[in-house]
Amino acid sequence: MSDPNVGEVERHIADRLADHDLNGPAFDPRLIAPDYRGRLQMDASLDLLIGKVQPDASSDSDPGDAP
Amino acid sequence: MRSVPEIAAALRSQDVTAVTLAEQFLAREAEARDRLHSFVAIDASQLLDQAAVCDAELSAGHDRGPLHGIPVGIKDIIDVKGYPTRCGSPLYPSTPADCDATVVSRLRDAGAVIAGKTTSHELACGVVTSPVSNPWNLDHVPGGSSGGSGAAVAAGLVPVGLGSDTGGSIRIPAALCGTVGLKPTFDLLPLAGILPLSTTLDHVGPLGATVTDCAHAMSALVADGTDFSDGLDRGIAGMRFGVLTEEPFSPLQPDVESNFHAAVDVLRSLGADCVDITIPELTHTLAAEFGIIPLEAFEYHEQSLRQRPFDIDPEIRTLLTAGAVLPGSVYRRACAARVAIARAITAAMTVHRLDALVAPTLPATASPKADTEHAYGDVSEPIAASYVRTTAPFNLSGQPAISVPCGFDREGLPIGLQIATRARHDKLALQVAAAFEQASPSRPRVPDFW
């Protein structure tokens, strides 16, 4: 997974927060971004274990589909 | 007198009554409360009433088994009828639960007396469990998230406590507090009535003063007639163990490393064949663990996060928010990684013909409360990642894993040995741990807490 630049990351976070109606000072994308970036880096490290596949990637835009 | 068999014998010889035990617990907990903070709620009336019933039953010849009349602590994410389930969080009301979690109901059926609710790290999502103190050094953490149960058992308040374990939350406080802690096989024990954190990784299980205590608790918790204490004395001669020393079981604090190798020597002295093995897939443990938890935790806590974000600790709020904003592929890939790791462990155990894996439970002993990182030479690591990297492999695989005390560092803080067997071989994990416990030179030590 590519690592978007800072502006793109914050815009993506803001969009996702809005999707979930998470508003207000507790949800500042600038404060969330470092953790988000770290988690994407951790995810990228999984390429070495499972390859670059995205299992069932058809609904990739929706994170709320846990079993 | 602090183990289940000792107390059980005293009850049956009428050297003590369940009511006396309950009264002793209440007095000792009150004495320890301001230093230990291991219990968040105790209903003395309920406790004494249960104990009186147990005494009456024993007098009438109705013996429910080894736990009959023995006080047990219950982590405060697990419902106990008549107690609020606060989960270490202001999000949860003071309304008492109207029924017991299934595991609590089974403990009651086995005669256990519910001593009270033990402190949980907020939402069972952390490894510190503030404000609980470690009985071995009150300035150090007890671990978490079942830190209240760990501290209560280590201090001798109760011989058994219930905990939950999503990334190590039973084994971490067990190792840091010098108790035994068993994360059973995934899905062996029912989770009904217990706050979830990650349904893929959550487990419930016992912490005990000894392996036998955990075994008796497991017999009650499984409740299918299996006696988990049967065969604990069979030894380990002829068994074959895989010794895990590479990442994520490295780096270690030097005292942890030396005590771990001494523990492996003890296993060898008992007739086990111990061979070094490598499972490279385990280097991805944290990526899998921390890829699964946020989304599943967010799914459960979404409404609370939206409506009362400032009633959630900032670090936990960040984790839950990650579950909302991360691409779904992160979760799915972490789930795929979990499967790959589980398969790799199974394959390694098959190829090397192993009965069990042995590893240090944790890379470090109990941290001072103010610390946020562990230092390994020139490398520092956040405490949560440091404590979880050695325990989480077995949450991902779902196989049973037990922590048993194996020594102390130079400051007198406990160190744990971790033993993991194949899924559904929980009795074997207890058997190996019991053999080690009997042979371990550190076995008699208890904290100078009182």
Of A21, A45, A63, the CB nearest to B327: A63
Q: Do A64 and B299 touch (CB under 8 A)?
A: yes
- Strands B160-165 and B113-118 turn out to be unpaired
Average pLDDT over residues B361-389: 97
Spatial separation of the C-alpha atoms in residues B68 and B10, rounded to whole Å: 11
Q: With a cut of 70, say whether residue A64 has pLDDT above it.
A: no
CA distance B382 to chain A (A): 13
pLDDT at A17: 98
pLDDT at B450: 84
Of B295, B327, B337, the CB nearest to A46: B337
B250 is catalytic: no
Q: Is B93 helix (H, G, I), strand (E, B) or coil?
A: coil
- Strands B414-421 and B401-408 turn out to be antiparallel
Average pLDDT over residues B171-196: 98
Residues in B closer than 8 angstroms to A13, CB to CB, are 325
Q: Is B9 on the interface with A (CB under 8 A)?
A: no
pLDDT at B20: 98
B386-400 pLDDT tens trace: 999 999 999 999 999
Residues in A closer than 8 angstroms to B389, CB to CB, are none
- Give the residue carrying structure tokens 């190996």: B432
Q: Please name the residues between 18 and 47 in chain A that touch chain B, using a CB distance below 8 Å.
A: 20-22, 24, 26-27, 31-32, 35-36, 39-40, 42-43, 45-46
pLDDT band at B361 (very low <50, low <70, confident <90, very high): very high
Spatial separation of the C-alpha atoms in residues B293 and B316, rounded to whole Å: 11
Asked if residues B40 and B76 have their Cβ atoms less than 8 Å apart, the reply is: yes
Q: ipTM of the predicted structure? A: 0.89
Spatial separation of the C-alpha atoms in residues B395 and B211, rounded to whole Å: 20
pLDDT at A53: 67
Asked if residues B207 and B135 have their Cβ atoms less than 8 Å apart, the reply is: no
B310-322 pLDDT tens trace: 999 999 999 999 9
Q: With a cut of 90, say whether residue B142 has pLDDT above it.
A: yes
Asked if residues B176 and B134 have their Cβ atoms less than 8 Å apart, the reply is: yes
Asked if residues B118 and B40 have their Cβ atoms less than 8 Å apart, the reply is: yes
Q: Is B321 on the interface with A (CB under 8 A)?
A: yes
Backbone angles phi, psi at B56, to 5 degrees: -65, -40
B223-266 pLDDT tens trace: 999 999 999 999 999 999 999 999 999 999 999 999 999 999 99
Mean pLDDT of chain B: 97
Task: Give the A:B interface size as CB pairs under 8 Å.
Answer: 114
Average pLDDT over residues B274-278: 98
pLDDT at B251: 98
CA distance A12 to chain B (A): 8
B24-39 pLDDT tens trace: 999 999 999 999 999 9
Q: With a cut of 60, say whether residue A61 has pLDDT above it.
A: no
Residues in B closer than 8 angstroms to A39, CB to CB, are 290-291, 294, 322, 326, 330
Residue B251 preceded by cis peptide, ω within 30 = yes
Spatial separation of the C-alpha atoms in residues A10 and A24, rounded to whole Å: 15
Contacts of range B299-303, beta carbons closer than 8 Å, 24 or more positions apart: B299/A64, B299/A66, B299/B323, B300/B196, B300/B197, B301/B123, B302/A20
Give the HSE-up count for residue B247: Cα atoms under 13 Å, Cβ half-sphere.
Answer: 7
pTM of the full structure: 0.96
More confident position, B2 or B191: B191
Q: With a cut of 70, say whether residue A54 has pLDDT above it.
A: no
Asked if residues B127 and B143 have their Cβ atoms less than 8 Å apart, the reply is: yes
B101-118 pLDDT tens trace: 999 999 999 999 999 999
Range with lowest mean pLDDT among B142-146, B166-170, B244-248, B438-442: B438-442
- Alpha-carbon Rg for chain A, nearest whole angstrom, is 13
Spatial separation of the C-alpha atoms in residues B143 and B133, rounded to whole Å: 9
Q: With a cut of 60, say whether residue A2 has pLDDT above it.
A: no
Spatial separation of the C-alpha atoms in residues B403 and B410, rounded to whole Å: 20
Q: Is A50 on the interface with B (CB under 8 A)?
A: yes
Average pLDDT over residues B140-151: 98
pLDDT at B24: 98
Q: Is A53 on the interface with B (CB under 8 A)?
A: yes
CA distance B329 to chain A (A): 6
Residues in B closer than 8 angstroms to A64, CB to CB, are 295, 299, 328
